[in-house]
Amino acid sequence: MNAEETSVWEKIDKARLPKHVAVIMDGNGRWAKKRFMPRIMGHREGVKTVDKIVTLAREIDLKALTLYSFSSENWNRPTSEVNALMSILKEYLIKEKKRMVDENIRFKTIGRIYELPKTAVDYLYDVEEATKDNDGTTLTLALSYGSQVEILDAVRSIGEKIKAGQLEPKDITGKLFSNELYTAGLDDVDLLIRTSGELRISNFLLWQIAYAELYFTEVYWPDFSGLEFLKAIQDYQKRERRFGLSGEQLAEPVDGGVVGDIGDADIIPD
Asked about 26 being catalytic, the answer comes back as yes
Q: How far apart are CA 135 and CA 129, in angstroms?
A: 13
**Residue 200 backbone class (left: φ over 0; alpha: ψ -120 to 50; beta: rest):** beta
Burial-class residue 169 by CB neighbours within 10 Å (0-12, 13-18, 19+).
exposed
Given 2, 13, 26, 235, the catalytic residue: 26
Given 2, 13, 61, 74, the catalytic residue: 74
Asked about 74 being catalytic, the answer comes back as yes
Q: How far apart are CA 35 and CA 198, in angstroms?
A: 20
Residues acting as catalytic residues: 26, 74
